[in-house]
Amino acid sequence: MKFERKDILGISELSVNEINLILETAESFLEISTREIKKVPTLRGKTVINLFFEASTRTRTSFEIAGKRLSADTINISASTSSVVKGETLIDTARNLEAMNPDVIVIRHSAAGAPHLLATLVKQSIINAGDGAHEHPTQALLDMMTIKEKKGKIAGLKIAIIGDITHSRVARSNIYGLTKMGAEVVLAGPSTMLPRDIEQMGVKAYTKLEDAIPDADVVMMLRIQLERQKQNIFPSLREYSQRYCLHSRNITLARKDAIVMHPGPINRGVEISPDIADDSSRSVILDQVNKGVAVRMALLYLLTGGNE
């Protein structure tokens, strides 16, 4: 199958065939990261710009590593060290970067829709590395890759996503992706963190964690998005953790072989207790990070015409 897209803006627009192609391509790239010389010449001569207007450890580093392992030239730009601080607009920034002829621009921005705007303005491929509370497609792809590796499939699994659904771009992208791939997705969070019409996305939503995780194959915990909350939507972190933190007692409601996921960064003791986060028999949090490099290699490869 030829990959026809110019951009990766969201999971909502990807077909099951496209998701499968990305995951299969990523699987074929996994091995490169285990070699002594972790580099292939596939993207020699290509240029990737990582334009990050929000903080990031995992996404930015893995895009840079992904580009470098494929021999692309990678350039990182943070808003704080760019001319954005002098008042330059996103559109002017993008047009100036376009004039330097990169091949791919990866963007993270606090405004939902910022990557979509760029995609209409510049000829280069745009990858959404997280736009506000809207989508984080590469996170959902690496999550799906991790689930597929650990469980052998996605279709038919019960996947519980717990926490701040309203402000989570990770939740939204995973709901789109996991339901398309045939999983049963259930959510739990405080009513103030559950969008009113969320069940229209084909999921079940509960306000008690204990109602969502029974018999789950996968328990995906979300980070509390304090930076996106315009007002206090729960009384205190302590109260939140008493009701929604995953720990050694409530995890027993899930299947015995359930895996535990978290996109990071973790607020230990708030969303997930340290013993569960560090329990290598259940926690696949660092496997998710590992898959992130392969997924981003696959996207850079496919967008630059690698499988034509």
Contact residues: ligand CP, CB under 6 A: 56-59, 130, 139, 263-265
Residue 86 has which token pair? 């002098």
Residue 292 Cβ vs ligand CP, minimum distance, rounded to whole Å:
8
Residue 222 contacts residue 188 (beta carbons within 8 Å): no
Residue 61 Cβ vs ligand CP, minimum distance, rounded to whole Å:
8
3 versus 23: smaller Cβ distance to ligand CP? 23
Residue 26 Cβ vs ligand CP, minimum distance, rounded to whole Å:
16
DSSP state of 253: G
194 versus 261: smaller Cβ distance to ligand CP? 261
93 versus 174: smaller Cβ distance to ligand CP? 174
Q: Quote the Cα angle for 79-106-100, to 5°.
A: 80
Task: Tell the burial category of 264 from Cβ atoms under 10 Å away from its Cβ (0-12, 13-18, 19+).
Answer: middle
b (16+ CB within 10 A) / e for 211-233: ebbeebbbbbbbbbbeeeeeeee
58 versus 228: smaller Cβ distance to ligand CP? 58
Residue 220 Cβ vs ligand CP, minimum distance, rounded to whole Å:
12
DSSP state of 20: H
Residue 286 Cβ vs ligand CP, minimum distance, rounded to whole Å:
12
Question: Which position has the token pair 């909502």?
Answer: 12
CA distance linking residue 43 with residue 292, whole number of Å: 18
Residue 57 Cβ vs ligand CP, minimum distance, rounded to whole Å:
4
93 versus 139: smaller Cβ distance to ligand CP? 139
102 versus 130: smaller Cβ distance to ligand CP? 130
43 versus 261: smaller Cβ distance to ligand CP? 261
Residue 239 to residues 190, 193, 203, 243, 271, Cα–Cα distance (Å): 11, 14, 26, 7, 11
Q: Which of 31, 28, 48 has the alpha carbon at shortest distance from 39?
A: 31
Residue 291 Cβ vs ligand CP, minimum distance, rounded to whole Å:
12
Residue 95 Cβ vs ligand CP, minimum distance, rounded to whole Å:
26
Residue 126 contacts residue 119 (beta carbons within 8 Å): yes
CA 75 to chain CA centroid, Å, is 21
Residue 235 makes CB contacts below 8 A (sequence gap 6+) with none
Residue 123 to residues 99, 102, 119, 277, Cα–Cα distance (Å): 10, 10, 7, 42
Residue 58 Cβ vs ligand CP, minimum distance, rounded to whole Å:
4
Segment holding 184, helix H or strand E:
strand 184-188
